[in-house]
Each structure stands twice: as structure tokens, then as C-alpha cells.
């Protein structure tokens, strides 16, 4: 099995072959048009290493009625991008941690933006759902320019995995994991029945995803150069949202509790202690000193 820098040995992984793929239930188009939960985003100070995590000093960075979700840190760790409800639709917002200022980046009259993600050229890629039902992946800069990145395909979630290539959760019959070259438009189906959480693995060329093809979901990683897949660990029961720390461990929520993983899952915090609700999406800053958590109200 091809390996990168001992990555498979580090996590005691076994190869997974691509020839036995299970189909999934059909997914409807208009993925984001369903009713969204009322959520808030909190940023905590994150202390410790993979053996001893702790959180402190929660700050509600959204503090806004409606759907505020899908946080990601700016590369310098000083601000957070997220999808924010504004006047009944969803826009890309940026919260500055030092000044506590929020700036709305998009003002799209014909649709809503979701899943803002930093691009290799410092623009922001985001999924836009138009009022017509058209759902596409676009690139935005900070001065108002917009570019369609992928035509035809209905993308629900994505991650940049090297150069101008993305790993994408693509809706359809069935939903698929696809590797897409955003410069050429070439797309390849590489897996089926995955979760929504896609991430570049720190310090490696691989990316990771949730495999939902069995009753027990698992976190797997793929080398986009040759499509090799390795098993990392089982997901926490009922959970599919996770993120990587710069040290190479993962953080995942289950109910109100937060867990980290290096070779096994270990609880390190319970948001009940902060009178907060259930956890969904999580994000860690590049320096590993901040943790963003989406909680249900």
C-alpha cells in the first residue's frame, strides 16, 4: 500500500479497497433549503497537547438569531469566517477576535452562501444556493468579485486538498465523494456514502472524511494522488463533525461533550459546564490555541 511519510504507520491503519462500495439513500437537491437550526458559534481558548486538552474563556462570536454555522479560522488565527443569517438569508461573515468586530463579506441578493473555506490564493470558496434553486461553488474576494469554480455539479461540502483540487461531497443519485480540478473542471468519483466533514490532514498530502457505508461510521483518509484509502478510527456514535489540530489529533463533539483523538477518543470538556447546548461543527486555529464550536440553542 502506498504511504506518505509513515502516515499509515503512525495511526496503525489498514488499507481499504475501493471495489466494494455500498450505495446510499437518495439525496434531494436543494440541500441547504431545508429548515436550518438556530445555532451560535463560540470560540474558546484551547490549551494543552494531544494528551491533555482543556478549554476556557468562551466568547459568543455570532450572538445572532438564526443559523450561524460552519466556522473556519483565517490562516493567521486572528479572525473566523462563518455562515451568518442576515435579513433572512445566509452570508459570509468574518469575526475579528481582538476587536470583536463582525464584517459581512457578501451581500448576495439572489441567494445564500454556506461553508466558507480559505482558498490557496487567499480568496474564499463558498457554496451558494440561489433563490432559483441553483446550487454551485463560487470564489469570492474581499472587494466583491465573484467567480464560479465548478459548473454542473451540486456540491454540498468541500475541502482544498492540494493545488487547485478539491474533495467534494456532491449531491446526486447517489451522493458521492469526488475529486475535482477547479481549473480544468475534471471530476472523478472516488467514494460513496460519506459524511459532510471533509478536511486536509495537517502536514500530509492526504485528506480525511467520514465513511457511512456501514452501521458504525468511521474516519478514513485518502491520498488524492493515487486514491489509496486508510482507516483511522471509528467515529463517535451519531457524530460526523470533526476537525484536525496542527499536532495531528482530531476533535469531535458528541452531545454536549468534546473529545480528542490520537489513538483513541478521550473526553476533555462538557459544554454543560458553560450552560451550552449540543455540539455540531468544530474548528481549530492553525496555531492550535483557539477552538470554535457550533452549539444549538
**Residues paired with residue 85 on neighbouring β-strands, in sequence order:** 90
15 HSE (CA, 13 A, CB side): 10
If one counts the domains in the chain, the total is 1
Domain assignment of residue 1, yes or no: no
DSSP letter for each residue of 10-67 = HTT--EE-TT---------S-GGGSPPP-EEEEEEEEES-TTS-EEEEEEES---SS-
pLDDT at residue 18 greater than cutoff 50? no
Domain assignment of residue 2, yes or no: no
Domain assignment of residue 116, yes or no: yes
Domain assignment of residue 32, yes or no: yes
Cβ atoms of residues 192 and 44 within 8 Å? no
pLDDT at residue 130 greater than cutoff 70? yes
Please state whether 198 falls in left (phi above 0), alpha (psi between -120 and 50) or beta.
Answer: beta
Specify the CATH number for the domain of residue 82.
2.120.10.30
Which structural domain range is residue 252 located in? 7-296
pLDDT at residue 216 greater than cutoff 50? yes
pLDDT tens per residue, range 262-285: 889 999 999 999 999 999 999 999
Domain assignment of residue 248, yes or no: yes
Map residue 274 onto helix, strand or coil. Answer: helix
What is the value of pTM for the model shown? 0.88
- Predicted local confidence at residue 143, as pLDDT: 84
Cβ atoms of residues 221 and 229 within 8 Å? yes
pLDDT at residue 25 greater than cutoff 80? no
Amino acid at each position: 500500500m502506498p504511504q506518505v511519510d509513515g502516515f499509515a504507520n503512525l495511526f496503525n491503519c489498514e488499507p481499504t479497497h475501493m471495489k466494494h462500495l455500498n450505495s446510499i439513500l437518495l439525496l434531494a437537491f436543494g440541500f441547504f433549503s431545508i429548515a436550518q437550526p438556530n445555532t451560535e458559534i463560540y470560540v474558546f481558548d484551547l490549551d494543552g497537547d494531544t494528551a491533555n486538552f482543556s478549554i476556557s474563556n468562551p466568547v459568543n462570536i455570532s450572538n445572532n438569531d438564526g443559523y450561524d454555522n460552519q466556522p473556519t479560522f483565517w490562516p493567521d488565527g486572528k479572525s473566523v469566517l462563518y455562515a451568518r443569517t442576515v435579513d433572512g438569508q445566509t452570508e459570509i461573515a468574518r469575526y475579528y477576535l481582538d476587536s470583536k468586530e463582525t464584517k459581512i463579506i457578501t451581500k448576495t441578493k439572489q441567494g445564500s452562501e454556506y461553508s466558507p473555506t480559505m482558498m490557496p490564493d487567499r480568496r474564499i470558496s463558498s457554496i451558494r444556493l440561489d433563490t432559483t434553486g441553483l446550487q454551485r461553488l463560487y470564489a469570492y474576494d474581499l472587494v466583491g468579485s465573484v467567480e464560479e469554480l465548478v459548473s454542473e455539479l451540486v456540491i454540498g461540502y468541500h475541502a482544498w486538498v492540494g493545488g487547485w483540487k478539491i474533495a467534494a461531497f456532491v449531491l446526486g443519485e447517489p451522493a458521492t465523494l469526488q475529486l475535482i480540478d477547479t481549473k480544468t473542471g475534471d471530476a472523478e468519483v472516488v467514494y460513496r456514502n460519506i459524511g459532510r466533514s471533509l478536511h486536509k490532514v495537517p502536514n500530509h498530502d492526504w485528506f480525511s472524511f467520514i465513511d457511512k457505508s456501514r452501521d458504525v461510521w468511521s474516519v478514513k483518509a485518502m491520498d488524492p494522488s493515487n486514491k489509496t484509502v486508510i482507516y483511522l478510527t471509528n467515529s463517535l456514535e451519531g457524530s460526523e463533525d470533526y476537525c484536525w489540530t496542527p499536532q495531528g489529533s482530531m476533535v469531535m463533539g458528541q452531545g454536549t461533550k468534546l473529545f480528542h483523538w490520537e489513538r483513541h477518543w478521550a473526553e476533555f470538556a462538557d459544554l454543560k459546564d458553560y450552560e451550552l447546548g449540543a455540539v455540531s461543527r468544530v474548528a481549530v486555529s492553525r496555531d492550535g490555541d483557539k477552538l470554535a464550536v457550533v452549539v444549538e440553542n
